[in-house]
Structure 1
Amino acid sequence: MNPSEFDLNLFRVFLTVYRYQSITVAAEVLQLTQPGVSGALKRLQSQLGEKLFVRDGRGIAPTHLAHEIARQIEPALDTIETTISSVQDFSLHGKRRFVVYAPEPVMLVLLPKIEADDSLGNREIVLYPTLASEEALFDRLNLRQADLAIDFAQFSSPSYFSEQFFTDQICVIASHSHPRIQGSITSEQYYQEKHVTLKLRREDVFLADYFTEEHLKGRKVSVECDSLLALMALVASSESIGMVSLSIAKLFSERLGIQILNVPFRSLPINYMLLTHNREQNSKANCWLREKLLSYVSELQRQ
């Protein structure tokens, strides 16, 4: 068959099925019916005269030819989608709902800024808690179920674009009425006191251990929790100490009655990044969203 007679839309269907190796998911992404996706694949296979997918258990697996076709056409189709997105009109007069996945500290920083922003017009920015799995986070961006993700992890996938969001750091907190800790804390005091700890779900490690250069010794853990706000409330109402991000400690120190203390170890910065799929990197809507979020944290960068 003459190449000019090919229906290029069939390649878009093929590439979506190839990415997810699922006709069901591909149909959801493309907003088509499953029979419609299956029919498009059959037409493409008929035109090529070769099988592109074979049964693999309850699912499907790409053939060698499918791998070769995907390798060659995926960059071209991504370029086309990016070009179209970049020239599409984006106006504050139309309604648009943006979905952003973010960790708890970032949500606590952003929400007051979003609610106080009178310039959003008909645009709505909705925050969702970040996912425990990196793969699940990528899926949300791939499926266009999220516009952006914010994370401190370093992603290296060539299909995703990332840029610096803001840098935070960790600090030690203690109740204002703590009987032994006032104004500062030594490493000896740190190990002598009881601790309220927080474990990072995806990394399966305590926050304190993840953001310090030194290997921390065992601590006397009084409570282990999975929320920074819960950690701060527990520290404020007890003699236990804890470790949180500095931006959040500053937001709640006065209301909760907690001291903010320098970490008595060599700490590592918390580098938050904005993450989106490559096809959205130059789209006017996504650029607007990234610039808007960056404007919210500009004050933190100057502190």
Structure 2
Amino acid sequence: MSDIITESSAKPAEFETHLRNVDLNLLTVFDAVMQLQNITRAANMLGMSQPAVSNAVARLKVMFNDDLFVRFGRGIQPTMRARQLFGPVRQALQLVMNELPGAGFDPSISMRQFNVAICSPLDKRLTSQVLHAVDTLASSVSIKLQTIVNDNIEHQLRYQNIEFMISYRKFERPDFCNEPLFNDELVLVAAQNHPRISPYMSDEKYLREKHAVMMIDRFYSFSAPYYDDPELQSLIAYQGTDLYSVMEVVSKTDMVALVPRWLAQANTGILNLSVIPLPWMKNQLTCYLSWHESSSKDRGNMWMKSLLSQCVLTL
């Protein structure tokens, strides 16, 4: 019995001794270097000298038994181990910061700027509601919205250059979080005087038409998921930068296009378009709010997430 007690009681002591030997301030350096991937800029952000940050990075390498950062161009690039550590370390730091006196997020006085990416065409539907909500609930808080999304978006979300993304596609990686916001219905649009289009369209007729799409070579393009099949790609006769341009071209030609019903209905009168249902295909689109797990405990991000979720309730 005494042997068991001695063994079990030794473990906490060993753990405490090990933790006392760790300089937890090094984790704030790790967080800054991971975000900026540049020693000089990280030093400026932390109010430290460059040699001090370099020394801290050297100690971090010993602590985690990994290079953590390697030279890349004029900056540095994190190793796989560093990328694995970033989420847990950032969340741990955020939990501590949340409990410090005066560290909470008060939207009535905060002057924080949030950066949100909204993929087309959702920007046309949500931008005014989001801006109005922020201005009404937190006039000192600012929000920057952008529709330009590329294959660097995961990096921007992971290192919080952008806090949230709103799109019809979700991130499949386990370190990203996705929350469904609402569902849209997909419809087909064509010019009202199109010689072959009617409300009784079929799959067979659909595959005979030329299609206009939002550029499918762009990351998170609205149209891309519907034209993965090479047979469908052969139907594409026009690629536009946004769905409004696509609909305008469709209204003046014999092409057809897939768009959300709300966008079609908002422009049928303006562009003289016909709206055709799509009973032969999966026509439900889910809009997602996505973010990186490392920002989940940030109280400011939690507030903004709630605000963005509330904005869609009035749609």
TM-score by length of 2: 0.73
Pick from 184, 190, 197: which aligns with 1:174? 190
Residue pair 1:85, 1:280 contacting (<8 A) in 2 also: no
Please say if 1:259 is aligned against 2:274. Answer: yes
Amino acid corresponding to residue 100 of structure 1 in structure 2: V
- Determine helix, strand or coil for the equivalent of 2:269: helix
Deviations 1:209-245 (A, max 9, x none): 7248999656554422232111011112223221112
CA-CA distance at 1:278 after TM superposition = 2.3
Residue pair 1:130, 1:149 contacting (<8 A) in 2 also: no
- Determine helix, strand or coil for the equivalent of 1:10: helix
What is the CA–CA distance in structure 2 between the aligned matches of 1:269 and 1:13, rounded to whole Å? 45
Matches within 5 A, 1:113-262: 113-117=129-133, 119-120=136-137, 121-133=139-151, 136-202=152-218, 207=223, 210-211=225-226, 217=232, 220-262=235-277
What is the CA–CA distance in structure 1 between the aligned matches of 2:64 and 2:169, rounded to whole Å? 44
Pick from 87, 92, 116: which aligns with 1:79? 92
Residue pair 2:178, 2:288 contacting (<8 A) in 1 also: yes
Amino acid corresponding to residue 291 of structure 2 in structure 1: T
Task: Please report the RMSD computed on the Cα atoms of aligned residues, expressed in angstroms.
Answer: 4.1
What is the CA–CA distance in structure 1 between the aligned matches of 2:93 and 2:237, rounded to whole Å? 55
* Alignment partner, residue 102 of structure 1: 118
Aligned residue pairs, count: 293
Check 1:204–1:293 CA distance in 2 against 1; reply closer, same or farther (3 A cut).
closer
CA-CA distance at 1:94 after TM superposition = 3.2
Once the two structures are aligned, what percentage of the paired residues are identical? 22
Please say if 1:41 is aligned against 2:41. Answer: no
Residue pair 2:158, 2:294 contacting (<8 A) in 1 also: no
Deviations 1:55-80 (A, max 9, x none): 668676889xx94x997896355233
Check 1:161–1:168 CA distance in 2 against 1; reply closer, same or farther (3 A cut).
same
What is the CA–CA distance in structure 1 between the aligned matches of 2:120 and 2:230, rounded to whole Å? 25
Residue pair 2:183, 2:287 contacting (<8 A) in 1 also: yes
* Alignment partner, residue 9 of structure 2: none
- Determine helix, strand or coil for the equivalent of 1:119: helix
CA-CA distance at 1:248 after TM superposition = 2.0
Pick from 9, 16, 28: which aligns with 1:12? 28
User: Any gaps of 5 or more consecutive residues in structure 2?
Assistant: 1-16
Residue pair 1:195, 1:240 contacting (<8 A) in 2 also: yes
Check 1:70–1:105 CA distance in 2 against 1; reply closer, same or farther (3 A cut).
closer
What is the CA–CA distance in structure 2 between the aligned matches of 1:145 and 1:217, rounded to whole Å? 36
What is the CA–CA distance in structure 2 between the aligned matches of 1:223 and 1:47, rounded to whole Å? 55
Check 1:46–1:164 CA distance in 2 against 1; reply closer, same or farther (3 A cut).
closer
Check 1:92–1:185 CA distance in 2 against 1; reply closer, same or farther (3 A cut).
farther
Check 1:54–1:297 CA distance in 2 against 1; reply closer, same or farther (3 A cut).
closer
